[in-house]
Structure 1
Amino acid sequence: MKKIVKYTLLLLVLATIYVVYTNYPRLNIISGYSAKNMSSSVFLAGRTLEVTDKQDNNFSPIAIAEDKVDYEDKSATASVYGFMKRKAIYKEGLGSILVLDDFEEDTKFLVPNRTKLTNNLPYPYGDEAQKDTIFSNINYNELQTAVLNAFDKNEDYIKKTRAVVVIYKDQIIEEKYAEGFDKNSKILGWSMTKSITSAVLGILEKQGRIKVNQNNLFPEWENDERAKITLNDLLHMNSGLEWNEDYNTMSDVTKMLFLAKDMSKSQKEKPLTGEPNNSWNYSSGTSNLLSGFIRNQFKTHQEYLDFWYAELIDKIGMNSMLIVYVFKLIWTF
């Protein structure tokens, strides 16, 4: 009987070790996400640790992370029961950056130059309040009901809607914000940055610096079938490159987001598993690869940083918008 108990306990210990060993890398997803989101929320969006934990980092499994904020150092750290501690630092003009263990604290970062233009014209042509406009063909009561329905009631935090702005014929006809938010609040743009990236590539093409149907995009692809991939294929996520966009495991996308030093390389190093222009696959790696392609169009990193603002963001008056550069990864606020 004692031997049975002994072997059972041994098996339980071995099983526990196996589970911990196989799942430990996944803690990067929890602590990495929590630290990065906390740093952005506190130092860029001006929210508090308590509110961020309650409203942003409150979903499984992120909720099990323990967050701490260093206001003097302008950084946020997170860990899971003391394990897998990750740190995100805030840099003015760049946003919050999730760093790796070998990060050197004295690392210097270039910051994009910005020109924020203002004028006295009413919305949508300037920063002043729009002129009062009433449209007779709109049922404003029904519109208000629909907008109200987009928000959580009490403290549900199911829909997680922060803001709704309805625009009709260049006029704001209804807007509403969740508690703690207003028209000046900064909100994560997430994958909307993919559209910004596409727009920047369109500007480069209009300037004659690139062509949407060009191939041979990277020297690393010159001697294999990937040389056939066009810029248009990448823009449509139709390259045929291998990629796994699974956020629940240590997949291609989570390794890129939480472990890679240069996130533009993650997709570049993948082999073909399909045929270019005939194999669609959603890939955030492709978007970061495009950011790396944009970087290659400039002699210096400063030119690359400035271009997004000078030729698009500041040029059209998006003064509150910030692209968060993490080496060659970009997020938006």
Structure 2
Amino acid sequence: MKKILTILLGGATALLLTLALLAPSLLGFSITQLGNAVRVATGMGAKLACSARFVSGFSESRIVDDLASYSPANRLLDLQYGERTVTAALFGMGRASASYRDGLGCTLDIGDTRALDQVQMQPVAANGDEWPLGSRVSSIDADLQQRVEAIVAADNSAGLQTRALVVVQNGKLLAEAYGPGIDVETPLLGWSMGKSLTAIMQGRMETLGLADSQVQPVFAEWQDDARAQIALEDLLHMSSGLDFDETYAPGSDATEMLFNAHSASDVAMVSPAAYGPGEHFSYSSGTTNLIARWMHEQLGGDVQASLDFFSREILQPLGMAHTVFELDPSGVFVGSSYIYASGRDWARLGQLMLNRGEWHGEQLLSADWVARAAAPNGSPNESRYGYQFWLNGGGEMLRYPQLPADAYFMKGNRAQVVMISPSTNTVVVRLGWSAGDYPTGENFAGLLPGA
């Protein structure tokens, strides 16, 4: 026994020494952050693998490759797949698990999650009506379809991993192409495009008289300090002034929020004020999760009520039959990051904005709210951001010089993009897994009318 223990301890020591040598140059973190790095790696591995497997239907090999695009260390994870669970471990130094629930997607098993077992998500039935009301598409433009297919093929030859490219003009789906293993029904992770959906939910609440973008203080917990002056609109504009660490490194606010917290919004809730409201734009996923928390509270602080609202007011009217908006372990939508939707469903959200909030004769969002959502904020350092939408114009230069000045975007990590272009009456959706830069401006410009 003593000899066995010596061998085991020696192996553990060798592993730590190896990690100490590899961490700074290969794995991307200091050995002093090893504990946090293990927690992030296992939490991220369990969560993303669970959703990729049970929501998107990806293979185990694709999941490992996707995780490794963030850090080679993720290839060291031991991922174990159960009937509805995924467990991630790293050489015995850390372990995390996530569970899948029908209609809810995957949630990390952190703290008490029993409330999630008591709720149900009302499914959206697909129908055979013409898109966007249904799944039938009879409007494909042969020339545009050829261009879309050529872009997807070129992207994937270059290793950019474009998984869906969809073009809508004048309310008609004119072209779409998909990468290997992806089809028109595959829900794909939008990452921070979920921020725009969170804003749309707030806009729907406002249109129904359930929300006021000028409300302050947003939370009772802020009423006795500088944060009392923050309005909900400041959160929508990412100009709340809260000191939230958005860097994606072991131990940061952002990684703690997404991969280690029972309540994602708790992390940003305690952030102090670093600037006055409206004085400084600072991109913050924590801010979006505060909006999600605020909406959850306005809907009664009840998980089922929040799910019912999302289904009744967003999914059902838009016919989004292939969309999953995931919850944190406490039962609040992770508005910043965790929405999976098909290319066509993402296009439906873009078309709703292009329609100025009107959908099949119903004003789901007020035209005034849509105008405010697509207008610049008042911060002096970055005005090209509306209500959780990135703007092409509204500043000293266009974000994408090749694209119309009035275009605005849902954007997410790995070059997820939904472009809404009012002047050309166009929506373009690109979903993929690009670890580096993606030629959004160049590629989208070639899909606009007259290109």
Q: TM-score range by the shorter chain?
A: 0.7 to 0.9
Q: Distance in 2 between matches of 1:220 and 1:251?
A: 23
- 1:26 and 2:34 equivalent? no
Aligned counterpart, 1:260:
261
Q: CA deviation at 1:133?
A: 5.0
Question: Among residues 49, 52, 72, which one is paired with 2:63 in the alignment?
Answer: 52
**Residues 28-59 of structure 1, C-alpha deviations (whole Å, 9 max, x = no match):** 22121111111111122222222311345444
- 1:186 and 2:187 equivalent? yes
Pick closer, same or farther for the CA change 1:83–1:277 going to 2, 3 Å: same
Aligned counterpart, 2:46:
35
Aligned counterpart, 1:80:
90
Letter in 2 for 1:305: L
Aligned counterpart, 2:156:
152
Q: Please give the secondary structure, in 1, of the residue aligned with 2:318.
A: coil
Pick closer, same or farther for the CA change 1:163–1:189 going to 2, 3 Å: same
Q: Distance in 1 between matches of 2:162 and 2:79?
A: 26
- The answer (yes or no) to whether the contact 2:218–2:232 under 8 Å persists in 1 is yes
Q: Distance in 2 between matches of 1:321 and 1:295?
A: 19
**Residues 159-211 of structure 1, C-alpha deviations (whole Å, 9 max, x = no match):** 12111112222233332211111112121121111111101111111111221
Pick closer, same or farther for the CA change 1:64–1:250 going to 2, 3 Å: same
Question: Among residues 305, 311, 314, which one is paired with 1:312 in the alignment?
Answer: 314
Aligned counterpart, 2:105:
95
TM-score by length of 1: 0.84
Greater CA radius of gyration, 1 or 2?
Answer: 1
Aligned counterpart, 1:66:
77
- The answer (yes or no) to whether the contact 1:116–1:314 under 8 Å persists in 2 is yes
Q: CA deviation at 1:251?
A: 0.8
The equivalences for 1:263-274 within 5 A come to 263-274=264-275
Structure 2: tracts of 5 or more residues without a match: 1-15, 22-29, 341-451
Q: CA deviation at 1:130?
A: 2.2
Q: CA deviation at 1:281?
A: 0.5
Which deviates more, 114-123 or 87-96?
A: 114-123
The equivalences for 1:1-333 within 5 A come to 20=31, 22-72=33-83, 74-100=84-110, 103=111, 109-131=117-139, 142=147, 144-149=149-154, 151-153=155-157, 158-299=159-300, 300-326=302-328, 327=330, 328-330=332-334, 331-333=338-340
Q: Distance in 1 between matches of 2:153 and 2:206?
A: 42
Q: Distance in 1 between matches of 2:152 and 2:91?
A: 40
Pick closer, same or farther for the CA change 1:167–1:93 going to 2, 3 Å: same
Aligned length: 310
Pick closer, same or farther for the CA change 1:197–1:84 going to 2, 3 Å: same
Letter in 2 for 1:240: G
Pick closer, same or farther for the CA change 1:79–1:58 going to 2, 3 Å: farther
Identity of aligned residues (%): 28
Q: CA deviation at 1:113?
A: 3.6
Q: Please give the secondary structure, in 2, of the residue aligned with 1:164.
A: strand
Q: CA deviation at 1:302?
A: 1.5
- The answer (yes or no) to whether the contact 1:27–1:84 under 8 Å persists in 2 is yes
Letter in 2 for 1:166: V
Structure 1: tracts of 5 or more residues without a match: 1-11
Q: Distance in 2 between matches of 1:227 and 1:121?
A: 48
Q: CA deviation at 1:216?
A: 1.3
Pick closer, same or farther for the CA change 1:56–1:169 going to 2, 3 Å: farther
TM-score by length of 2: 0.63
Q: CA deviation at 1:230?
A: 0.5
**Residues 254-313 of structure 1, C-alpha deviations (whole Å, 9 max, x = no match):** 111122211122112111001101111110001110010001112233212211111112
- The answer (yes or no) to whether the contact 1:122–1:129 under 8 Å persists in 2 is yes
Aligned counterpart, 2:358:
none
Q: Distance in 2 between matches of 1:79 and 1:189?
A: 26
